[in-house]
Structure 1
Amino acid sequence: MKKILIFISLVLVVIFLAYQFGLVDLLTDITKLRMYLENLGWWGYFIFIMLSIIVAVFLLPGQFLAIVGGLAYGGFIGGLLTVIGASIGASISFVIGKYVARDYILQRFSQEPAFQKIEQGVRENGLSFLIFTRLVPIFPFAIQSYAYAMTPMSVKKFSFISCLTMIPASFIYAFMASEIASKGVSVTLLLELTAAGVLLALLAYLPKKISKKINQLSTEYKKVK
């Protein structure tokens, strides 16, 4: 109970401070956030990673961070910083959900459709469901980390798969934002966007295909045995 009260108090304090000091406004203003990071120089890398972690842990609006990273630092560095920050944030959220505030999260969100679907998806499809939902954001990204903490999945598996599956979208968003900022919208860019969309669709399809293949092999092995 003590852990839960501390966690709730911390969340409320951070959210209050985020609104009080304009962090939420900053996170939702791409131009202002980009200029802020660029003016920080090398310190901007650290601040960007910290913002990504705070957004993930405290469920703040940060859906544009990969785009801002691409605009401020270019496709490669912006994508890399996004992956690092989002991965650390997701892992911290998962640990908090599993070991610190599990009872509170179950009481607060257990009846939410997103939580129930994730629990069912993991139960029926295992890790392939985590891979799918990370590649295709059918559920809010930040909420996923806390929802998966309610399943039997280990911290090591969640952290590794989350980091791996964040790479494609993070680099694609950062790269596209960087291209638009430097070259504007062109036919080449539209073709690249189309190719990126096809790539993400194929990556999202792979977990189901692999899972089906593993199940088939497992069934055949049992028959032979």
Structure 2
Amino acid sequence: MGFIFLIVVVLFLANQLGFVRLLTDIENLRHILEDLGWIGYLFFISLSVVVAVFLLPGQFLAIVGGLAYGGLVGGCLTIIGASLGCTISFVIGKFLARDYILQRFKNDATFQKIEKGVQENGISFLIFTRLVPIFPFAIQSYAYALTPMSVKKFSLISFLAMMPASFTYTFMASEIATKGISFSLLIELAIAGIFLSLLSYLPKKISRKINRLDTEYNKMK
């Protein structure tokens, strides 16, 4: 219950102190990061972790990262921060707040869909939901913590599966910041959308390969 109380306190303070408003203010947050210099890298990663753990609105962080640091650096910072955040959330949900989460969310539709998806599709469901954010990013980590999935497998797959979207968002944001809206940019956005859509068909194939490797590894033990 201590962690749950902490979440409630953090959410209350974040609203009262204007932190939630800052997270949705793209231009202001961008200028803050740019003014911090290299320390902004650490601040951005820390911000991503806090957003993931405390279920704060962080849907614009990848865009802000791309605007402030460019596509490559912004993409790297986004994936590092998101990976750390989801892993910490997963560990908290699995080992520290599992009983409360089960009690509080066992009847929640999102949790039930994720649990059912993992049971029926295994790793491919995790890959799919990381590639295509059909469920809120932060909630996903706590939901997956209730499944038998290991921390190592969850962290590695989340990291790899989140990379395409993370770099796509940051590169697109960087392009808008440097070149503005143009016809070529719209073409690039369309290509990026098609690319991400095509990736959503890969999870089952990747999952089968991972499961095959797991089986071979277990046989070698």
Is TM more than 0.5 here? yes
- What does residue 128 of structure 1 align with? 124
- What does residue 203 of structure 2 align with? 207
SS in structure 2 at match of 1:15: helix
Q: What's the Cα RMSD here? A: 1.5
Distance apart, 1:214 and its partner CA = 9.2
Letter of the structure 1 residue corresponding to residue 133 of structure 2: P
1:30 equivalent in alignment to 2:6: no
- What does residue 108 of structure 1 align with? 104
**CA distance in 2 between partners of 1:91 and 1:63 (Å):** 18
Distance 1:22 1:193, change over 3 A: same
Letter of the structure 1 residue corresponding to residue 37 of structure 2: G
Equivalent in 164, 169, 175 of residue 165 of structure 2? 169
Equivalent in 103, 115, 122 of residue 119 of structure 1? 115
- What does residue 154 of structure 2 align with? 158
Consecutive aligned runs of 4 or more in structure 1 exceeding 4 Å deviation: 209-215
Distance apart, 1:17 and its partner CA = 2.0
**CA distance in 1 between partners of 2:29 and 2:42 (Å):** 14
- What does residue 14 of structure 1 align with? 10
Letter of the structure 1 residue corresponding to residue 136 of structure 2: P
**CA distance in 2 between partners of 1:33 and 1:155 (Å):** 32
**CA distance in 2 between partners of 1:139 and 1:122 (Å):** 14
**CA distance in 2 between partners of 1:182 and 1:210 (Å):** 36
Distance apart, 1:11 and its partner CA = 0.8
Distance 1:45 1:108, change over 3 A: same
- What does residue 219 of structure 2 align with? none
Larger Rg: 1
Which structure 2 residues correspond to residues 87-102 of structure 1 after superposition, within 5 A?
87-102=83-98
Taking structure 2 as the reference length, the TM-score comes to 0.92
Distance apart, 1:208 and its partner CA = 2.9
**CA distance in 1 between partners of 2:20 and 2:191 (Å):** 33
**CA distance in 1 between partners of 2:207 and 2:41 (Å):** 38
Identity %: 73
* Structure 2 stretches lacking a partner, 5+ long: 212-221
Taking structure 1 as the reference length, the TM-score comes to 0.90
1:49 equivalent in alignment to 2:45: yes
Distance apart, 1:213 and its partner CA = 8.6
Letter of the structure 2 residue corresponding to residue 76 of structure 1: L
Distance apart, 1:20 and its partner CA = 2.4
Which structure 2 residues correspond to residues 56-67 of structure 1 after superposition, within 5 A?
56-67=52-63
